Chains A and B, each alone.
Chain A
Amino acid sequence: QVQLVQSGAEVKKPGASVTVSCEASGYTFIGKNIHWVRQAPGQGLEWMGWISPNSGGTNSAQKFQGRITMTRDTSINTAYMELSRLRSDDTAVYFCARGEGSSWFDPWGQGTLVIVSS
């Protein structure tokens, strides 16, 4: 079955960077974009950006531009999201999700909790 499995929880200090991985299985990895979405505690979903595993092309929400780097390794069907210059308000669960066309996200990874605290 189609599945996205993310890396484990992280605790980081303010100013540091974090990298979350997302390993895909059950489909052709380069065929569909991978999106990154985050959810702060008790808050709503926030779209962060996408990467095309085929071309490596990316696009991100203006809010994250300059701080987010999305990459992929097609040899191991894995996408990565690095967020730099972390602040306490970056504390959130980070999800990856497969994009379907220009339209919807399915399935989603299980989520990765990132805590930013001094």
Chain B
Amino acid sequence: QSALTQPASVSGSPGQSITISCTGASSDVGAYNYVSWYQQHPGKAPKVMIYEVSNRPSGVSNRFSGSKSGNTASLTISGLQAEDEADFYCSSYTNSNTYVFGTGTKVTVL
């Protein structure tokens, strides 16, 4: 199972919106609405930001939103803030009853 493809880095100025893509295949992202997104600050455990493509867990800011089209999922961060600077990973369930993570995206707030 190959890792899902994400851009290595995305940057934006405070207040701007950015979008991170996550491209998989018809056996994972395209097959199920079981895509989730995680934020990871250096030295910390990942934290879920979006689950099942577009749902936000309690306590996660509504500046984070998710969507999916075909084999590609996307995470959008609106009103970018300094605290959003972190690594972001997508994840998907697969048709082998396994899971796969994305390659990871470093978000930089300029």
B36 touches A103 (CB 8 A): yes
Chain A contact residues: helix, strand, loop or mixed: strand
CA distance A27 to B3 in the complex (A): 31
B34 touches A45 (CB 8 A): no
CA distance A48 to B93 in the complex (A): 13
Nearest A-chain residue to B102, judged by Cβ: A44
Interface residues of A in 73-118 (CB under 8 A from B): 95, 97, 100, 102-111
Q: Given A95, A106, A111, which contacts B48 in the complex, CB threshold below 8 Å?
A: A106
CA distance A59 to B1 in the complex (A): 14
Chain A interface residue count, Cβ-Cβ cutoff 8 angstroms: 25
Interface residues of A in 44-75 (CB under 8 A from B): 44-47, 49-50, 59-62
Evaluate whether A100 and B101 lie within 8 angstroms (CB atoms) in the complex, with A45-B38, A45-B89 already known: no
- Distance (whole angstroms) from the CB of A5 to the closest CB of chain B: 12
Nearest A-chain residue to B57, judged by Cβ: A106
B104 touches A100 (CB 8 A): no
Nearest B-chain residue to A4, judged by Cβ: B45
A103 touches B34 (CB 8 A): yes
Q: Given B46, B102, B103, which contacts A108 in the complex, CB threshold below 8 Å?
A: B46
Evaluate whether A47 and B46 lie within 8 angstroms (CB atoms) in the complex, with A103-B34, A103-B51, A104-B36 already known: no
11 examples of A-B residue contacts, CB within 8 angstroms: A44-B103, A45-B46, A45-B89, A46-B3, A47-B98, A49-B98, A95-B45, A97-B46, A102-B93, A103-B51, A111-B45
Q: Which 4 A-B pairs have the closest CB atoms?
A: A104-B51, A104-B36, A108-B45, A44-B104
Residue ranges of B at the interface with A (Cβ–Cβ < 8 Å): 1, 3, 32, 34, 36, 38, 40, 45-48, 51-52, 57, 89, 91, 93, 97-104
Residue ranges of A at the interface with B (Cβ–Cβ < 8 Å): 35, 37, 44-47, 49-50, 59-62, 95, 97, 100, 102-111
